Amino acid sequence: MTERSAAPGGLALVESLVNTLDIASGTDALDTDDGRARFGLTPDEVPAARALRESLRAALLAHAGHPPHTRVTALDDLLASAPLRVTVDAADGAAALVPADPGPLLSRVAAAVAEALVAGTWLRLKACEADTCHWAYYDRSPAGRGRWCSMQVCGARAKMRRYRAR
């Protein structure tokens, strides 16, 4: 987990939510007032946000060709309850799916996923293949086949393990 530029558009919200849990250290930003404030969450909303986060992580692992690290609620089941509406800009006629109520995190994530689907960027948001990491990152590689959040950290460790195994 290194510093990368944020994912484009609404995917930055998804990336940020997934990265609230540092698997290596076990720290969860949603345990803090500042972490909850970043997403407009109350302490009562944290369990649902964690379930959403892990369902998103499972989808991002699938984008990178890896099975989920734990059993989770299917992301489409969670997103099905997010009320969205279509807006049309009067000036240029551009249409967008937006949260019917911009407050709930689930609706904002559903709108971000819908935006990414239209833009063709959803499959580029991935989770690192390292079991001790699973950090979300936006794959900017030309072929879209990135496997690690950082080639200098997780990628180097994986390559060194394979080298030593030989």
Q: Read off the tokens for 60.
A: 């991002």
Backbone angles phi, psi at 61, to 5 degrees: -65, -40
The band of 152, judged by pLDDT with boundaries at 50, 70 and 90, is low
Specify whether the CB–CB gap between 22 and 154 falls below 8 A.
Answer: no
Choice between 4 and 121, residue whose per-residue pLDDT is larger: 121
Distance CA 49, CA 31 (A): 11
What DSSP designation does 71 have? -
- Mean pLDDT is lowest, of 2-11, 34-43, 49-58, 122-131, for 2-11
Distance CA 92, CA 71 (A): 44
Whole-prediction pTM: 0.86
Q: Read off the tokens for 67.
A: 């099975």
